[in-house]
């Protein structure tokens, strides 16, 4: 098969949502319908009997939440599907933001009862900044929720998107009758099904077909006709170009827990979602059909297999063909590396692959060479853009609680910070290490993983800092800032200067006193 054909049969996307909207459950059902797994595990908060396929870290199994992006690939209808299941919890949003730099489209899951929630709002904003095509899946129809038109209005107003329903629900909660697939003109009746069972659709090519009423009743048939007339009148018709440019967003309805509406979503996604797209670098636009291989690291995971204490760098293939045992240039280190066991993923399960094409995610065993954002090429000097690092909001000193395990703690901190779990700053004045996070749960995850994966006991000390910001600009002013604000200066893992402001007033005052310096709250990795 030609390179172009391999590219065009690939779909790489992320599933995003607010916590508990059903994102991980939908991921598993897509895997089930795609034939990648034969039985799905239900994820229930704090009461987990069988954990989700995509949640493989021990703390994820205990909490019932995703705290790290996991990668899953499978073949479906001669299409290679790569799913990136992202954390929904806001404390791990930065991992999700970075993941969005490695995908070509997004499925956003919305709870039918709760509507648009805070984290969904932030994630869709990031997608819209990139013009990433978005498909909405309105989940949990088996429960009582908002009226469909009210829900769509809320999504359009809050998220500032234009919707295009490609499926429509018939009832909701106890009155849920089914889903009508507008694109294929077929009806799927609702029933609470076994986890492995797929609902069989009924083809209804004409809404005046008498058999429609025999399936859902006269009242529901009349209401469906009325609502579909409104749908076609109010919402725009689907146009591929507008979807791919982010102008319109298709909408599907269903209940992932009951395997309902998932088939319609998956079949249409395969048809309309974009294959791998060009990627921006500082030097130029990299196109997937180029012969020379290039890719970048968007995630690093330490101890993906705790028995072997190994690190895996997740690389998105952007152009050409990645081949096992070939030498590639690590651009930042200007070093040739060869990979004898590149892997493809099904969550924590891995298999060695001989080659990978644009859109694929490859796992490379890492001994400490990689950082997030690193590029691999066949020799060309490239730096991929759009991989963000955001200013943390909470800060604590991290200390060693067991002097006998100082090496383990040092190694654990370095590897977890390379993953992007949180950010590490070193105070210039006293050399103390400061952990910066977006939310408090990250501290808990770091402490847990240091203990269980590295055998290192740690403790925290509160540090009242308002904001950390990267500082760059005029050399003379920067030297003066470092001298006068010595106690508030730190460096990050890359050695960049960071100002730790105690309060909003001090930050504003410092910005005014140093007009030739830029105080940045977001940095490119």
Alpha helices in 204-316, H assignment, sequence order:
210-216, 218-234, 240-244, 262-272
Q: Any idea what DSSP says for residue 199?
A: P
Alpha helix ranges (H) inside 339-487:
406-419, 440-454, 475-484
Question: Tell me, which fold does domain 391-524 have in CATH?
Answer: Alpha-Beta Plaits (3.30.70)
Cβ contact 196:32 at 8 Å: yes
pLDDT for residue 195: 52
Structure tokens at 437: 């996070």
pLDDT, one tens digit for every residue, the chain (525 residues): 799 999 999 999 999 888 888 888 898 888 888 777 665 553 333 333 334 444 444 544 444 444 345 678 888 889 999 998 776 445 456 677 778 889 999 999 999 999 998 888 888 887 887 789 999 999 999 999 889 999 999 999 999 999 999 999 999 998 898 898 998 888 888 876 555 556 667 777 777 888 888 888 888 889 999 999 999 999 999 999 999 999 999 999 999 988 889 988 999 999 999 999 999 999 999 999 999 999 999 888 766 555 555 678 899 999 999 999 999 999 999 999 999 999 887 644 678 899 999 999 999 988 878 888 899 999 999 999 877 677 888 899 999 999 899 999 998 898 888 777 788 999 999 999 999 987 788 888 889 889 988 899 999 998 989 999 999 999 999 999 999 999 999 999 889 999 999 999 999 999 999 999 999 987 766
Q: How far apart are CA 85 and CA 280, in angstroms?
A: 23
Beta bridge partners of 473: 517
Nearest to 376 by CA among 419, 328, 342: 328
Cβ(140)–Cβ(22) below 8 Å: yes
Which residues fall within 8 angstroms of residue 429, CB to CB, at 6 or more apart?
486, 487, 489
Q: What are phi and psi of 91, to 5 degrees?
A: -65, -15
Q: Hey, which CATH number is domain 279-377, 1.25.40.10, 3.20.20.60, 3.40.50.1820, 3.40.50.300?
A: 3.40.50.300
Per the CB < 8 A criterion, the answer to whether 163 and 108 are in contact is no
What's the pLDDT tens digit per position in 152-211? Answer: 999 999 999 999 999 999 999 988 988 989 988 888 888 765 555 566 677 777 778 888
Q: Quote the pLDDT of residue 215.
A: 84
**Segments of the chain assigned to CATH 3.30.70.3280:** 391-524
pLDDT digits (tens, 9 = 90+) for 256-271: 988 889 988 999 999 9
Is 228 within 8 Å of 180 (Cβ atoms)? yes
CA dist 231 and 183 (Å) reads 13
How far is residue 321's CA from residue 4's CA, in Å, rounded to a whole number?
Answer: 11
Pair 294, 374: CB distance under 8 Å = no
Are 363 and 356 in contact by the 8 Å Cβ rule? The answer is no
What SS3 state is found at 272?
Answer: helix
Q: Can you give the pLDDT at residue 444?
A: 86
28: closest CA among 11, 9, 44?
A: 44
Q: What is the pTM of this model?
A: 0.79
pLDDT at position 60 is 46
Q: How far is CA 453 from CA 408, 445, 466, in A?
A: 10, 11, 31
d(Cα 512, Cα 510) in Å, to the nearest integer? Answer: 5
Q: CATH topology for 3-272?
A: Rossmann fold (3.40.50)
CA–CA gap between residue 185 and residue 187 (Å, rounded): 7
Contact partners, residue 226, CB within 8 Å, separation at least 6: none
| pLDDT at residue 34, as a whole number | 78
In sequence order, what DSSP letters do the residues of 54-91 get, joined into one string? T--SHHHHHHTS--S-EEEEEEETTEEEEEEEPP-SGG
Say how many CA atoms lie within 13 Å of 72 toward its Cβ: 28
Domain with CATH 3.40.50.300 in the chain: 3-272, 279-377
CA distance 498 to 378: 34
Beta bridge partners of 227: none
Quote the pLDDT of residue 90: 56
From 172, 170, 183, 163, select the one nearest 227 (Cα to Cα): 170
Contacts of 406 (CB under 8 A, 6+ apart): 400
């Amino acid at each position: 098969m030609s390179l172009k054909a391999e590219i065009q049969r690939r779909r790489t996307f992320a599933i995003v949502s607010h916590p508990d909207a059903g994102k991980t459950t939908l991921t598993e059902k897509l895997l089930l319908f795609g034939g990648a797994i034969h039985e799905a595990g239900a994820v229930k908060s704090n009461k987990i009997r069988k954990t989700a396929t995509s949640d493989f870290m021990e703390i994820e199994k205990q909490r019932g939440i995703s705290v790290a992006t996991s990668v899953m690939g499978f073949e479906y209808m001669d299409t290679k599907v790569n799913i990136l299941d992202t954390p929904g919890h806001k404390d791990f949003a930065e991992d999700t933001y970075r993941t969005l730099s490695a995908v070509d489209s997004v499925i956003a899951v919305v709870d039918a009862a709760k509507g648009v929630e805070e984290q969904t709002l932030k994630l869709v904003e990031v997608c819209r900044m990139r013009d990433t095509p978005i498909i909405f899946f309105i989940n949990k129809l088996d429960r009582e929720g908002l009226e469909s038109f009210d829900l769509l209005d809320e999504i359009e107003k809050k998220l500032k998107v234009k919707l295009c329903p490609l499926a429509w629900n018939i009832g909701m909660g106890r009155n849920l009758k089914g889903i009508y697939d507008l694109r294929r003109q077929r009806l799927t009746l609702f029933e609470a099904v076994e986890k492995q069972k797929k609902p069989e659709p009924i083809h209804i090519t004409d809404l005046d077909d008498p058999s429609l009423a025999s399936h859902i009743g006269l009242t529901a048939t009349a209401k469906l006709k009325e609502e579909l007339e409104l749908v076609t009148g109010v919402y725009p018709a689907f146009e591929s170009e507008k979807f791919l440019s982010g102008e319109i967003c298709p909408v599907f309805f269903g209940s992932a827990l009951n395997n309902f509406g998932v088939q319609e979503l998956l079949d249409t996604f395969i048809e309309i979602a974009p294959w791998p797209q060009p990627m921006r670098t500082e030097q130029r636009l990299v196109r997937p059909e180029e012969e020379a291989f290039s890719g970048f690291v968007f995630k690093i995971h330490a101890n993906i297999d705790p028995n072997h204490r190994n690190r895996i760098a997740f690389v998105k293939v952007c152009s050409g063909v990645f081949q096992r045992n070939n030498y590639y240039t690590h651009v930042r280190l200007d070093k040739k590396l060869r990979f004898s066991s590149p892997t493809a993923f099904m969550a924590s399960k891995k298999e060695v692959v001989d080659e990978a094409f644009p859109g694929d995610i490859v796992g490379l065993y890492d001994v400490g060479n990689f950082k997030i954002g690193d590029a691999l090429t066949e020799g060309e000097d490239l730096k991929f853009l759009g991989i963000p690092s955001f200013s943390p909001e909470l800060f604590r000193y991290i200390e060693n609680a067991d002097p006998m395990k100082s090496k383990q703690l040092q190694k654990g901190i370095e590897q977890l910070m390379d993953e992007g779990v949180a950010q590490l700053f070193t105070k210039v004045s006293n050399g103390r290490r400061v952990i910066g996070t977006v939310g408090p749960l990250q501290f808990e995850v770091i402490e847990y993983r240091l203990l269980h994966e590295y055998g290192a006991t740690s403790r925290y000390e509160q540090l009242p800092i308002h904001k950390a910001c990267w500082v760059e600009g005029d050399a003379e002013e920067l030297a003066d800032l470092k001298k006068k604000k010595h106690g508030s200066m730190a460096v990050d893992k890359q050695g960049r200067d960071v100002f730790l402001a105690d309060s909003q007033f001090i930050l504003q005052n410092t910005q005014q006193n140093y007009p030739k310096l830029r105080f940045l709250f977001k940095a490119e990795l």
